[in-house]
Amino acid sequence: MADDLKAPFTARLPDDLLEYAADIADQKMNAAEREMQHDSEAYPEYARALGLRDAAVEQLIQERRCDPMEVDRLESAMTAYGAALAIEMYKRGFMDGGRVCHAFMTGELPRKGAAT
Protein backbone atom coordinates (compact mmCIF):
# COMPACT_ATOMS: atom_id res chain seq x y z
CA MET A 1 0.00 0.00 0.00
CA ALA A 2 2.84 2.42 0.75
CA ASP A 3 4.19 1.95 -2.79
CA ASP A 4 0.74 2.75 -4.14
CA LEU A 5 0.90 6.16 -2.46
CA LYS A 6 4.18 6.93 -4.21
CA ALA A 7 2.73 6.20 -7.65
CA PRO A 8 1.54 9.09 -9.81
CA PHE A 9 -1.84 10.30 -8.60
CA THR A 10 -3.75 8.95 -11.59
CA ALA A 11 -1.89 5.61 -11.81
CA ARG A 12 -4.46 3.91 -9.59
CA LEU A 13 -7.34 4.35 -12.03
CA PRO A 14 -7.68 2.25 -15.16
CA ASP A 15 -6.69 4.13 -18.28
CA ASP A 16 -10.17 3.90 -19.80
CA LEU A 17 -11.72 5.64 -16.78
CA LEU A 18 -9.15 8.40 -16.91
CA GLU A 19 -9.74 8.85 -20.63
CA TYR A 20 -13.50 8.97 -19.96
CA ALA A 21 -13.00 11.60 -17.24
CA ALA A 22 -10.76 13.67 -19.54
CA ASP A 23 -13.35 13.49 -22.33
CA ILE A 24 -16.09 14.65 -19.97
CA ALA A 25 -13.90 17.47 -18.68
CA ASP A 26 -13.12 18.60 -22.22
CA GLN A 27 -16.81 18.56 -23.18
CA LYS A 28 -17.79 20.46 -20.04
CA MET A 29 -15.06 23.06 -20.51
CA ASN A 30 -16.08 23.63 -24.13
CA ALA A 31 -19.74 23.95 -23.17
CA ALA A 32 -18.91 26.35 -20.33
CA GLU A 33 -16.74 28.47 -22.61
CA ARG A 34 -19.48 28.67 -25.26
CA GLU A 35 -21.99 29.68 -22.59
CA MET A 36 -19.67 32.32 -21.12
CA GLN A 37 -18.87 33.72 -24.56
CA HIS A 38 -22.56 33.90 -25.40
CA ASP A 39 -23.49 35.74 -22.18
CA SER A 40 -20.31 37.18 -20.70
CA GLU A 41 -22.27 39.64 -18.54
CA ALA A 42 -23.60 36.69 -16.54
CA TYR A 43 -19.99 35.67 -15.82
CA PRO A 44 -18.15 38.77 -14.57
CA GLU A 45 -14.91 36.93 -13.73
CA TYR A 46 -14.79 35.51 -17.24
CA ALA A 47 -15.50 38.93 -18.78
CA ARG A 48 -12.79 40.49 -16.61
CA ALA A 49 -10.24 37.81 -17.54
CA LEU A 50 -11.13 38.14 -21.21
CA GLY A 51 -10.63 41.90 -21.01
CA LEU A 52 -7.27 41.48 -19.30
CA ARG A 53 -6.19 38.95 -21.91
CA ASP A 54 -7.25 41.15 -24.82
CA ALA A 55 -5.49 44.18 -23.31
CA ALA A 56 -2.29 42.19 -22.75
CA VAL A 57 -2.35 40.89 -26.33
CA GLU A 58 -2.87 44.38 -27.71
CA GLN A 59 -0.09 45.75 -25.49
CA LEU A 60 2.36 43.10 -26.70
CA ILE A 61 1.54 43.86 -30.31
CA GLN A 62 1.72 47.64 -29.91
CA GLU A 63 4.54 48.22 -27.41
CA ARG A 64 6.84 45.38 -28.35
CA ARG A 65 5.91 45.35 -32.01
CA CYS A 66 5.28 41.64 -31.76
CA ASP A 67 4.05 39.69 -34.72
CA PRO A 68 0.36 38.88 -34.05
CA MET A 69 1.06 35.26 -35.07
CA GLU A 70 3.70 35.00 -32.33
CA VAL A 71 1.20 36.38 -29.82
CA ASP A 72 -1.37 33.83 -31.04
CA ARG A 73 1.13 31.02 -30.46
CA LEU A 74 1.85 32.29 -26.95
CA GLU A 75 -1.86 32.60 -26.23
CA SER A 76 -2.48 29.07 -27.53
CA ALA A 77 0.29 27.71 -25.32
CA MET A 78 -1.10 29.46 -22.25
CA THR A 79 -4.61 28.24 -23.05
CA ALA A 80 -3.33 24.67 -23.42
CA TYR A 81 -1.55 25.00 -20.07
CA GLY A 82 -4.73 26.20 -18.34
CA ALA A 83 -6.80 23.49 -20.01
CA ALA A 84 -4.36 20.79 -18.88
CA LEU A 85 -4.63 22.04 -15.30
CA ALA A 86 -8.43 22.13 -15.47
CA ILE A 87 -8.66 18.63 -16.93
CA GLU A 88 -6.29 17.25 -14.30
CA MET A 89 -8.37 18.83 -11.52
CA TYR A 90 -11.52 17.36 -13.03
CA LYS A 91 -9.92 13.91 -13.14
CA ARG A 92 -8.86 14.26 -9.50
CA GLY A 93 -12.40 15.25 -8.53
CA PHE A 94 -13.69 12.29 -10.51
CA MET A 95 -11.32 10.02 -8.63
CA ASP A 96 -12.22 11.53 -5.25
CA GLY A 97 -15.92 11.04 -5.98
CA GLY A 98 -15.28 7.44 -6.93
CA ARG A 99 -13.38 6.86 -3.71
CA VAL A 100 -16.21 8.24 -1.61
CA CYS A 101 -18.78 6.16 -3.49
CA HIS A 102 -16.62 3.05 -3.06
CA ALA A 103 -16.19 3.75 0.66
CA PHE A 104 -19.96 4.01 1.16
CA MET A 105 -20.66 0.89 -0.88
CA THR A 106 -18.06 -1.18 0.98
CA GLY A 107 -19.07 0.12 4.38
CA GLU A 108 -15.78 1.90 4.98
CA LEU A 109 -17.88 5.04 5.55
CA PRO A 110 -21.10 4.62 7.47
CA ARG A 111 -24.37 5.65 5.86
CA LYS A 112 -26.48 8.28 7.54
CA GLY A 113 -28.06 6.84 10.67
CA ALA A 114 -25.73 3.82 10.65
CA ALA A 115 -22.96 5.47 12.66
CA THR A 116 -22.59 4.40 16.25
Query: Mean per-residue pLDDT for 33-59?
Result: 93
Q: What is the pTM of this model?
A: 0.62
Residue 116 lies in a domain: no
Residue 66 lies in a domain: yes
Query: Mean per-residue pLDDT for 44-49?
Result: 94
- Helix (H), strand (E), coil (C) string for the chain: CHHHHHCCHHHHCCHHHHHHHHHHHHHHHHHHHHHHHHCHHHCHHHHHHHHHHHHHHHHHHHHCCCCHHHHHHHHHHHHHHHHHHHHHHHHHHHHHHHHHHHHHHHCCCCCCCCCC
Q: What is the structure's pLDDT at 36?
A: 95
- If one counts every other C-beta atom within 10 angstroms of the C-beta of residue 25, the result is 19
Q: What domain count does the chain have?
A: 1
Range of the domain at 51: 12-27+38-106
Q: What is the structure's pLDDT at 41?
A: 93
Residue 52 lies in a domain: yes
Residue 112 lies in a domain: no
Query: Mean per-residue pLDDT for 24-52?
Result: 93
**Mean pLDDT, all residues of the chain:** 82
Cα 32 to Cα 23: distance, rounded to the nearest angstrom: 14
